[in-house]
């Protein structure tokens, strides 16, 4: 071998495959302002649509007068529910099996609900038109508090459901009831509680918040009357699903619908479902024959398109005196607002909330969820979480701390005592899941050692004593969170959307010169798919990642997929990519065997090509095989080198992690300081550590925001009071704490590359870490649970209610 | 979030600007940095038919020392304040407070004139100007007049300015050498207005407070001077009991609104704490 021959390490590094901190290829255009977003789509003759919205949370619509609006120069049409009825589109189905008004049909059910759609030659004229549409309302009593929604005399919100005693998920108990969902063994669980030595019970609320991506929801719809084709550019996390929904509800042939999701500026679950703006823009384009753009503004995004959470979880744990958990009982009151517009897999009205047993070995558990209507915006979507997993993680992690407090045990110790043990995997949980793999104790102990947990507890003890002596006005909290997620929806046996199984897909085409293009059914909104997908292929087929172009988001060219949300891209599409790549490699092996004149079985894979076993000099690189695929394939073989894989995962994946937050709070002002935040994530095989770190940073920042103040709030009259970033807490770099990240690796045994997904873990695990830190800080003053969000004034209010100012 | 239509004017002299405002009447609004006006227009809470942009008037910009006073032109930006050695040297509290206004982007455009003229109780400069004993130079169709900052604010967005008048400059008496100062502002995040803020300018003599002025931001419909609170501390060494009395006297005049920053009780409570902390810090940095 001469000096020029690259070493095995050099050959591996040249691929920039899995495990490499490859720089994000998409950033080349993003950092130069050259991304191409929906609002960058400008078509000749394009019109603009905008909504007249309801000022009332609950009112009858007596009349809509558009005559003055139509006189505004540039205004071409005003679309109302009456217009939409002519094409049978006044209502649309939601992914959760409910129906939703596209435009107010007789009534409005939440403030800022869409009432009419004004179409004009430019955005300014559209807004001038909006101000001229006269709507006469008769206000009705608003229902804001979900706990009052099932009162016997609560106002009737959904008149369209009158007389319907059952919905998409079974019987309805009340006119404002949507569904009841129960899981687990009630009898066994009740028995565990009856003989429990220790129990705790707490109503733990996860407040209403919002995914608030920086780019709002938007679309451009263009109907070609001659061809009868509809093209939609939109902010879609799941473009194929949108195409199918349009085909089903607009009754257009699916091949004549082209859905294109260009670059997307964040989604976080906000861009999974269908919104009235999409329907109205499409109808407006069909009516006018011109392309129509709809771009939501910030207020509309925060107040009308899907919120997240609003889960009120009454949680009970049974345990022995020694701290071994023996039972879990949870009842959830789920506020869905005016329409159930969850974007969960069809059969899961409360998503995967039954992961609520968390990382602990509960012998039995029972869960009941009641969904109700209120006069608030419809939802709730999975804000950077896999379908109610964030709620579940918060519920169990907060409850474990409450139990530790009652037992007088350290919360970390309580967790270690109750973890599912490594040898118990695959583990069957009391609420029906099969956890694939985990090593919780190792992760927890690594976290505790890194932050010097024992020393922190000592310091806290000293600070508490000093506080009691009146020497300091600061209290210290240590928040521990150990979460287990369930992601990668999902296996066709239990996951579908509108009847379509939740597989995902990949198509790879290799070109003669050793380059290729890969297309998937997923759609990046900032996750960096163009970078990481190419890395999987690079490792699998030995072609440098730089030579693989990744393309997503165009339903005409991409294979059918269910999109990107619920941390499903790596678990599902990531598997499809590996499987498609392996098909390429299998064909490549046949070509190589033919060219090297040996039997296939005599070849072994070696980084970037095939080598004849025992003959190190006889080697054919993948690059050369690509060329051969186009001119000298074995007799009888089709030329070319491409493959498609549709991957139906056998199981979900179960990422986990240990987070620790150290915080101080000034009781006089409620102002907190995050002193330290340590996040250890185990997402199985790590494809690109740098992208993982970026995902963790982003998710932790969201978790920080949510726990410490990010809230969609309604006043008692049903007015939404958090319509801008002035009041809806969006932390800047100044407020955001410093993040320390770490990892362990426990691969998924059933995933082709062992990867589990990480995008949402930090949001899921971060919120309880912050909330537990605040609660831990106050616990020595006698509190057991303080509801989120923990903004300054609420911290002060907590201090006050605990008597901190009594002697002052 | 789209403003209504308006016509745009860009005069180059103060006289022309005043003439325009006078002839266009109620439907015209001066435009400075636009940070308050433009968002109001986007929400259509303000729908002026004419905007008179003041950026073309060179005379309205600049900071200059005039004997015992510092004169600041209305179109001076908050960034200009931060860049001024004169301000840093002679009125350091203005420098400190300007740094607490949002972020560099906002400060590059937001003007001192717009900030004090608007009458928004959330703005920081008005209480500071009252604390410093500043006067505003108003130019109108009938010539100019001086109004003390303390007499300018009448209610939220209600001020002593008359139709056709422009705020041209601010005149601030330079506080005595060796004075102590502090602006304590509690806010939820960068870019937020004060939950509560207190400005203190004082002088010390023999370890006791000799003179003291206290201003309050966003704790009422208008900025406030907490005179009774200031009286409490004069002649004292700011012992714990005095600070408590001063905070209580200040809280007694606060009438904040309940909003997302917190309920009334909280905002008053932290208002008292801002007063206490500002007094302590001002005393500590006085000569
Ligand atoms: C995100 C954000 C955060 C902010 N945070 C703070 C903060 O924490 N503290 C703070 O103090 N400020 C804050 N501001 C306000 C900002 O700094 C400006 O000072 C303020 O908006 C007004 O100045 P402007 O030059 O933008 O005035 P404009 O918006 O142009 O004008 C405001 C009003 O004053 C009138 N006006 C302007 N100039 C004159 C004049 N010379 N004579 C008469 N009338 C006039 C206008 O007609 C208008 O009615 C913030 C602004 C933003 C956008």
Identify the domain boundary among B155, B173, B191: B173
pTM: 0.97
Q: Crossing angle for the helix pair B264-285 and A792-801, nearest 10 degrees?
A: 100
Q: Which residue, among A394, A397, A406, has the nearest Cα to A323 in the 3D structure?
A: A406
Kindly report whether the peptide bond that precedes residue A198 is cis, defined as omega within 30 degrees of 0.
no
List residues bridging with A659 in a β-sheet.
Answer: A481, A679
Chain A, nearest residue to B3 by Cα:
A124
Going along chain A from its start, the domains and CATH numbers come out as 8-35+504-647 (3.30.365.10), 38-140+216-264+271-303 (3.90.1170.50), 390-487+652-801 (3.30.365.10)
pLDDT of residue A807: 55
CATH number of the domain bearing residue B167: 3.30.465.10
Dist CA A691 CA A682 (whole Å): 14
Nearest chain B Cα distance for residue A676, angstroms = 19
pLDDT of residue A2: 56
Same domain, B151 and B228: no
pLDDT of residue A250: 87
Are B266 and A668 within 8 A, CB to CB? no
Q: What is the mean pLDDT of each run of 10 residues along chain A (808 residues)?
A: 81 97 97 97 98 98 98 98 95 94 98 98 96 98 98 97 94 97 98 98 98 97 96 96 92 96 96 94 96 97 96 98 98 98 92 98 98 97 93 98 98 98 98 98 98 98 98 98 95 92 97 98 96 98 98 97 93 97 98 97 98 95 98 97 97 97 98 98 97 97 98 97 94 96 97 95 98 98 98 98 81
Residues of B with Cβ-Cβ distance to A792 under 8 angstroms: 186, 188, 195, 262
Q: Tokens standing for A536? A: 């999987």
pLDDT of residue A481: 98
Answer for the pair A454, A741: CB distance below 8 angstroms, yes or no. Answer: no
Identify the domain boundary among B145, B173, B201: B173
B2 found inside a domain: no
* Ligand 1 contact via B185 beta carbon (within 6 Å): no
Same domain, B19 and B83: no
pLDDT of residue A806: 76
pLDDT of residue A3: 65
Same domain, B109 and B143: yes
Residue A202 known to be catalytic: no
Q: How many CA atoms lie within 13 A of B272 on its CB side?
A: 17
Nearest chain A Cα distance for residue B185, angstroms = 12
B1 found inside a domain: no
Q: Which residue, among A560, A414, A426, has the nearest Cα to A481 in the 3D structure?
A: A414
CATH number of the domain bearing residue B267: 3.30.390.50
CATH number of the domain bearing residue B35: 3.30.43.10
Nearest chain B Cα distance for residue A46, angstroms = 18
Residue with CA at minimum distance from ligand 1 atom 39: B114
How far does the centroid of ligand 1 lie from the alpha carbon of residue B37, in Å? 7
- Number of neighbouring beta carbons within 10 Å of residue B190: 15
Same domain, B243 and B157: no
**Mean pLDDT for chain A?**
96
Residues of B with Cβ-Cβ distance to A299 under 8 angstroms: 1
Chain A, nearest residue to B192 by Cα:
A726
Residues of B with Cβ-Cβ distance to A729 under 8 angstroms: 188-189
The residues of B whose Cβ lies within 8 A of any Cβ of A are: 1-2, 4-5, 44, 103, 186, 188-193, 195, 259-263, 266, 269-270, 273
Same domain, B52 and B62: no
B274 found inside a domain: yes
Q: Which residue, among B160, B161, B170, has the nearest Cα to B61 in the 3D structure?
A: B170
Give the position, in ligand 1's atom list, of the atom nearest the Cα of B74: 41
Q: Tokens standing for B53? A: 């942009």
Chain B, nearest residue to A735 by Cα:
B189
Same domain, B161 and B196: no
How far does the centroid of ligand 1 lie from the alpha carbon of residue B42, in Å? 15
Residues of B with Cβ-Cβ distance to A669 under 8 angstroms: 186, 270, 273
pLDDT of residue A4: 79
Q: Hey, is A705 helix, strand or coil?
A: helix
Residues of A with Cβ-Cβ distance to B193 under 8 angstroms: 726
Residue A760 known to be catalytic: yes
Identify the domain boundary among B37, B56, B75: B56
Selected catalytic residue, list A158, A208, A384, A388: A384
Same domain, B89 and B187: no
B218 found inside a domain: yes
- Could you list the residue range(s) of the whole structural domain that residue B99 is in? 58-173
The residues of A whose Cβ lies within 8 A of any Cβ of B are: 50, 123-124, 126-128, 131, 297-299, 668-671, 709, 713, 721-722, 725-727, 729, 731-732, 734-735, 791-793, 796-797
Chain A, nearest residue to B42 by Cα:
A127
Residue A159 known to be catalytic: no
Q: Which residues of chain B have pLDDT under 70?
A: none
Same domain, B238 and B253: yes
How far does the centroid of ligand 1 lie from the alpha carbon of residue B94, in Å? 16
- Number of neighbouring beta carbons within 10 Å of residue A248: 14
Give the position, in ligand 1's atom list, of the atom nearest the Cα of B40: 29
How far does the centroid of ligand 1 lie from the alpha carbon of residue B116, in Å? 8
Give the position, in ligand 1's atom list, of the atom nearest the Cα of B123: 11
Q: Considering its fold, how many domains does chain B have in total?
A: 3
Same domain, B149 and B91: yes
Dist CA A269 CA A308 (whole Å): 9
B277 found inside a domain: yes
Q: Nearest 5°: CA angle at A375, between A351 and A56? A: 145
Dist CA B133 CA B111 (whole Å): 19
Are A792 and B260 within 8 A, CB to CB? no
Selecting from A124, A670, A727 the residue whose C-beta is nearest the C-beta of B260 gives: A727
What does each C-alpha distance from B197 to A773, B220, B253, B275 come to in angstroms? 28, 11, 14, 8
Are A668 and B44 within 8 A, CB to CB? no
Q: Hey, is B70 helix, strand or coil?
A: strand
Q: Tokens standing for A702? A: 């969201």
Same domain, B225 and B278: yes
Neighbour-count burial of A33, counting CB atoms closer than 10 A to its CB (0-12 exposed, 13-18 middle, 19+ buried): exposed
Q: Hey, is B88 helix, strand or coil?
A: helix
Same domain, B85 and B137: yes
Residues whose CB falls within 8 Å of the CB of residue A89, separated by 6 or more in sequence, listed in order: A102, A249, A250, A279, A283
Same domain, B168 and B275: no
Residues whose CB falls within 8 Å of the CB of residue A106, separated by 6 or more in sequence, listed in order: A60, A61, A81, A159
Residues of A with Cβ-Cβ distance to B195 under 8 angstroms: 792-793
B252 found inside a domain: yes
pLDDT of residue A226: 95
**Pairing relation of β-strands A308-319 and A229-234?**
unpaired
Residue A237 known to be catalytic: yes
B82 found inside a domain: yes
B96 found inside a domain: yes
* ipTM given for this complex: 0.96
Q: Which residue, among A716, A713, A711, A717, has the nearest Cα to A56 in the 3D structure?
A: A717
């Amino acid at each position: 071998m001469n000096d020029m021959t690259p070493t095995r390490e050099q050959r591996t590094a040249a691929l920039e495959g899995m495990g490499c901190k490859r720089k994000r290829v998409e950033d080349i255009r993003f950092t130069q302002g050259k991304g191409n977003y929906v609002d960058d789509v400008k078509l000749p003759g394009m019109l603009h649509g905008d909504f007249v919205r309801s000022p009332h949370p609950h009112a009858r619509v007596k009349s809509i007068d558009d005559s003055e609006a139509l006189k505004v120069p540039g205004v071409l049409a005003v679309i109302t529910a009456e217009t939409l009825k002519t094409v049978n589109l006044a209502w649309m189905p939601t992914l959760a099996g409910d129906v939703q008004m596209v435009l107010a049909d007789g009534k409005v059910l939440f403030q800022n609900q869409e009432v009419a759609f004004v179409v004009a030659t430019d955005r300014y004229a559209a807004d001038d038109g909006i101000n001229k549409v006269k709507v006469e309302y008769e206000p009705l009593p608003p229902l804001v508090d979900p706990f009052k929604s099932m009162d016997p005399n609560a106002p009737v919100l959904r008149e369209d459901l009158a007389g319907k005693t059952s919905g998409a998920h079974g019987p309805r108990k009340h006119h404002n009831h949507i569904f009841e969902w129960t899981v687990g063994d009630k009898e066994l669980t009740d028995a565990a509680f009856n003989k429990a030595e220790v129990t705790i019970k707490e109503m733990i609320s996860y407040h209403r918040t919002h995914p608030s991506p920086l780019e709002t929801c938007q679309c451009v719809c263009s109907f070609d009357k001659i061809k009868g084709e509809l093209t939609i550019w939109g902010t879609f996390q799941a473009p194929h699903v949108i195409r199918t929904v349009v085909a089903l509800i607009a009754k257009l042939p699916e091949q004549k619908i082209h859905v294109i999701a260009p670059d997307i500026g964040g989604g976080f679950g906000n861009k999974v479902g269908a919104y009235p703006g999409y329907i109205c823009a499409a109808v407006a384009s069909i009516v006018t024959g011109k392309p129509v753009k709809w771009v939501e503004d910030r207020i509309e995004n925060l107040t009308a398109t899907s919120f997240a959470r609003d889960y009120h979880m009454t949680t009970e744990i049974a345990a022995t005196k020694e701290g071994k958990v023996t039972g879990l009982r949870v009842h959830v009151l789920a506020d869905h607002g005016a329409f159930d517009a969850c974007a969960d897999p069809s059969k899961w009205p409360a998503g995967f909330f039954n992961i609520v047993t968390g990382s602990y070995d509960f012998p039995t558990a029972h869960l009941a969820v009641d969904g109700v209507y209120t006069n608030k915006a419809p939802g709730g979507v999975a804000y950077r979480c896999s379908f109610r997993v964030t709620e579940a993680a918060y519920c169990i992690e907060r409850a474990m701390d409450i139990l530790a407090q009652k037992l007088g045990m350290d919360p970390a110790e309580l967790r270690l005592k109750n973890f599912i043990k490594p040898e118990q995997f695959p583990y069957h949980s009391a609420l029906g899941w099969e956890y694939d793999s985990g090593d919780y104790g190792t992760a927890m102990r690594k976290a505790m050692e890194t932050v010097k947990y024992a020393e922190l507890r000592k310091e806290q003890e000293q600070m508490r004593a000093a506080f009691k002596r009146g020497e300091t006005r600061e209290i210290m909290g240590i928040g521990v969170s150990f979460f287990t997620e369930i992601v990668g929806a999902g296996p066709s046996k239990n996951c579908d959307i509108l009847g379509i199984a939740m597989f995902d897909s990949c198509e790879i085409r290799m070109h003669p010169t050793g380059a290729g293009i890969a297309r998937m059914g997923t759609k990046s909104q900032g996750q960096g798919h163009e970078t990481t997908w190419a890395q999987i292929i690079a490792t699998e087929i030995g072609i440098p990642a730089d030579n693989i172009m990744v393309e997503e988001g165009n339903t005409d060219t991409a294979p059918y997929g269910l999109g990107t949300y619920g941390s499903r891209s790596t678990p599902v599409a990531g598997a499809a990519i590996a499987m498609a790549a392996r098909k390429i490699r299998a064909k490549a092996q046949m070509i190589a065997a033919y060219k090297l004149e040996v039997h296939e079985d005599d070849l072994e894979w070696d980084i970037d090509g095939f080598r004849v076993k025992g003959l190190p000099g006889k080697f054919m690189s993948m690059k050369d095989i690509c060329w051969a695929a186009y001119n000298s394939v074995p007799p009888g073989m089709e030329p070319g080198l491409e493959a498609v894989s549709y991957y139906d995962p056998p199981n979900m994946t179960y990422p986990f992690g240990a987070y620790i937050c150290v915080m101080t709070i000034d009781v006089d002002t409620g102002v907190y300081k995050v002193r330290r935040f340590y996040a250890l994530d185990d997402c199985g095989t790590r494809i690109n550590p740098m992208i993982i770190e970026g995902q963790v940073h982003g998710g932790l920042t969201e978790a920080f925001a949510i726990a410490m103040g990010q809230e969609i709030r309604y006043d008692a009259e049903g007015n939404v009071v958090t319509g801008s970033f002035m009041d809806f807490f969006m932390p800047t770099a100044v407020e955001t704490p410093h993040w320390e990240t770490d990892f362990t690796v426990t691969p998924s045994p059933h995933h082709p590359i062992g990867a589990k997904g990480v995008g949402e873990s930090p949001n899921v695990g971060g919120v309880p870490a912050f909330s537990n830190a605040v609660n831990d800080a106050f616990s020595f003053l006698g509190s057991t649970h303080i509801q989120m969000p923990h903004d300054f004034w609420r911290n002060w209010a907590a201090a006050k209610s605990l008597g901190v100012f009594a002697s002052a | 979030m789209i403003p209504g239509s308006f016509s745009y004017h860009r005069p180059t002299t103060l006289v022309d600007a005043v003439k325009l405002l006078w002839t266009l009447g109620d439907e015209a609004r001066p435009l400075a940095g636009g940070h308050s006006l433009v968002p109001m227009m986007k929400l259509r809470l303000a729908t002026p038919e004419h905007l008179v942009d003041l950026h073309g008037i060179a005379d309205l910009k600049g900071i200059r020392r005039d004997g015992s006073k510092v004169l600041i032109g209305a179109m001076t930006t908050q960034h200009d304040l931060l860049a001024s050695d004169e301000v840093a040297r002679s009125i350091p509290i203005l420098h400190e407070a300007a740094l607490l206004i949002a972020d560099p982007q906002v400060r590059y455009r937001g003007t001192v004139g717009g900030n004090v003229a608007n009458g928004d109780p959330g703005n920081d400069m008005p209480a500071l100007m009252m604390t410093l004993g500043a006067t505003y130079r108003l130019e109108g169709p009938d010539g100019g007049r001086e109004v003390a900052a303390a007499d300018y604010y009448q209610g939220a967005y209600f001020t002593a300015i008359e139709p056709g008048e422009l705020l041209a400059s601010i005149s601030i008496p330079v506080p005595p050498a060796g004075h102590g100062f502090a602006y304590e502002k509690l806010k939820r995040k960068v870019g937020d207005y004060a939950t509560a803020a207190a400005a203190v300018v004082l002088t010390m003599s023999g370890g006791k407070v000799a003179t003291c002025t206290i201003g309050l931001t966003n704790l009422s419909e208008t900025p406030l001077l907490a005179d009774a609170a200031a009286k409490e501390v004069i002649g004292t060494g700011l012992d714990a009991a005095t600070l408590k009395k001063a905070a209580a006297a200040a809280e007694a005049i606060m009438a904040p609104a309940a909003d997302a920053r917190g309920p009334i009780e909280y905002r008053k409570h932290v208002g008292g704490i801002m007063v206490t902390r500002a007094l302590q810090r001002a005393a500590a940095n006085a000569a």
